[in-house]
Structure 1
Amino acid sequence: DYEKKYPPDEPDQALGPNARIWRVYLDEARQFDMDMVDNIRDTVDVILVFAGLFSAVVGTLVTEASTSLKPDYTQITAALLTELISVQRAIASNISVSSIPSSSLHLESPPTSTASSTDFWVNALWFTSLAISLAIALVSVLVRQWLHAYVTPTSGTPKDQSHIRHFRYMGIEQWQVPLIAGLLPIMLHLSLFLFFIGLVVFL
């Protein structure tokens, strides 16, 4: 009961810097902010931990899968050694070197990848999943910083504190922080969905 908690104001102090209306506003706003911040913070904390672990797993798989997009230098070396041995045998047997089948490798052009379409799809899906997961982690950290700045205590009269709180709340609403926090689980589901599609294609 605010009438008992705060004494009535003098007639000329109804809107003064220490008026009861500002104290009541701060109490109501404090309870509202506590509920809002706790809900967003709990969601963001879970998302941040899961996104970090998930990014580590996907990053490891992407590192392995991306090797299929690069030229296989082991096969290139083996092909060149085979041709070199054939040339040496031809010379030792007095056979014309021109009769030795030449390698399909050409020094004028760089070696190309032998990756299949499956390899491209797997890497595309996993790289996209990793990018989304890292973006989720980044946005989660930003939301945490916004919340920390939002609930930072202020000094001054109740009227000044009320104005600062309202200014912060308008900033939170303008930047759509609650909406962004609500979209994080959806984005995480999308990242998981892309990862599992890539896993199915990979297997």
Structure 2
Amino acid sequence: MPTDPLSMTLSALADPTRRAIIARLASGEATVSELAEPFTMSMPAISKHLRVLEQAGLIEQGREAQFRPRRLRPDRLRDLAGWLETYRHFWDDSLDRLGAEATVSELAEPFTMSMPAISKHLRVLEQAGLIEQGREAQFRPRRLRPDRLRDLAGWLETYRHFWDDNLDRLDVYLKDMQEGDPT
């Protein structure tokens, strides 16, 4: 199981049920029962999805009397958006300039992994539709597919206001603290 925050975030968001839960929580906090309502699955299955989202840092559990509502935590989505931003030039450039290809051995150069390990990671990226394999003789070069990254960035953009709003409130709070008004 991945342990770095970005891998955990991407892994958690790979499931459409969990993305639907994130979309629901974007409109406000909700109890497990409220989150389970649109799905035809058991409560333990919904709880498992919520646990994955909590472990990835995408949601958190509150405490209001006997209720334990879940709410969205925007910081991991902000981090994912920042990571995607570094690749924006791939989908902003025109498609005829996107032909950069690399062989497995060229891709393996910066890493201290074996070729089978690199190949395994490339297969995962291919299955996710992020790269595609060329058919040039025995080399089989890989090419980035920017459409999937662009789609992910668009999905994240719908949630940008969550972390922007939180940062704005933090700025106001810090300013009030500096002025001696801890409201």
Give the TM-score range, shorter chain: under 0.3
Q: Please identify the structure whose Cα radius of gyration is greater.
A: 1
TM-score by length of 1: 0.23
TM-score by length of 2: 0.24
Q: Which has the higher strand share?
A: 2
Of structures 1 and 2, the one with the larger relative CO (CA 8 A, separation 6+) is 1
